[in-house]
Amino acid sequence: MKDYRPRIRELVQIGRLPTGPNNAITDVEGVLVGHSTLIKGEGALSPGEGPIRTGVTAILPHGGNLFEEKVTAAVHVINGFGKSVGLSQIQELGTIETPILLTNTLNVGRVSDALISYMLKSNPGIGITTGTINPVVGECNDGYLNDIQGRHVGEKEVFAAIENAKGGMVEEGVVGAGTGMRCFQFKGGVGTASRLIRYQDEEYTIGILVVSNFGRREELQIAGVPVGLELKDWPEKMEEKADDGSIMIILATDAPLSSRQLGRLARRAPLGLARTGSIVSHGSGDFVIAFSTTHRHPHQGKHHRISWERVLEDNKLMNLFFQGTIEAVEEAVLNSLTRAYTVVGRDGHTAYALPIERVKEILRCYGR
């Protein structure tokens, strides 16, 4: 078993708003998360064979048939150096009709194909008696640790991630799509967090899940403390290579928001990234996919009109949504760091875990 790795809240509080019971995207009722993780082999890279350090993560807005009951959604492209699938239709129509899958860059095609196969199982009329399907797949590059040319995530892993998806606590760090990722030149991966929005007699939840794979060591900040600078020379033989990297951010909420309103929240996510030290580099692929679980869009409605309640864009309430988004993104990224353990990948490439005891000392020195 791996040594215990804490969540960031065990070191320092991030933000001011309360969290949900699991401090996870699954605090939004109905949202499910599943992973398939592939770790195999060691030593020199043999393209197509290994070593393998990769996986896939599935986020389901609800456990029903997403093609028949779509959810309201929006997309924000922070920096477009990425190879995602399905985002343009979300921008155009404002809905999501499949699980959201996250994986590595060169595996997007295989994962997208497997997702289509999965959806055809429960919707055999797709492409025959009704329209086609818009698979949603996001990616980050895990090629530093993983045999990325091998494209080892296929139908078996995709089906398992979706079928094993569940609510409650979400596994973080070296798991699923986060298996081979790095963040601020430490080991990164999957992280999640949530915030409760209480306003008058209503309560809403915002949940965030990230796959973090970006940043240089000296940029890292935790609760405003320049932790990365303090750890710049740790360990002594730190691997100097650092690509621009990427991040996928998934935002879920149970608030009745329109696609346009979800877009407003998604555009605040970069502020949470900035709090961790991200500069959204030239070569980074940084995407936000946001959805609301409140309303279901029937694939084939009986009427040509539909009406729903939605949140009034009151100044105070929308500001709370913005604050919750920013805080949850910041905390999810930091959880992806603190929960990840050291991983040795192909050709001996090593992604070191964030040194928790050193971080505690640094935070104390800065009065945090």
The answer to whether 295 and 71 have CB atoms below 8 angstroms apart is yes
Q: In what helix (H) or strand (E) does residue 39 lie, and over which residues does it extend?
A: strand 32-40
Read off the amino acid at residue 190: V
Tokens of 261: 């309103």
Burial group, residue 83, by CB count within 10 angstroms (0-12, 13-18, 19+) = middle
Q: Active site residue: 27, 244, 254, 286, which one?
A: 286
Q: Active site residue: 246, 259, 292, 336, which one?
A: 246
Q: Going by C-beta distance under 8 Å and a sequence separation of 6 or more, which residues neighbour residue 238?
A: 185, 217, 352
Q: Active site residue: 36, 112, 259, 284, which one?
A: 284
- Nearest C-alpha neighbor of 325 from the set 286, 288, 279: 288
Burial group, residue 93, by CB count within 10 angstroms (0-12, 13-18, 19+) = middle
> Does the annotation count 46 as an active-site position?
no
Q: How far apart are CA 35 and CA 40, in angstroms?
A: 16
Burial group, residue 368, by CB count within 10 angstroms (0-12, 13-18, 19+) = middle
> Does the annotation count 246 as an active-site position?
yes
> Does the annotation count 286 as an active-site position?
yes
Residues identified as active-site: 246, 284, 286
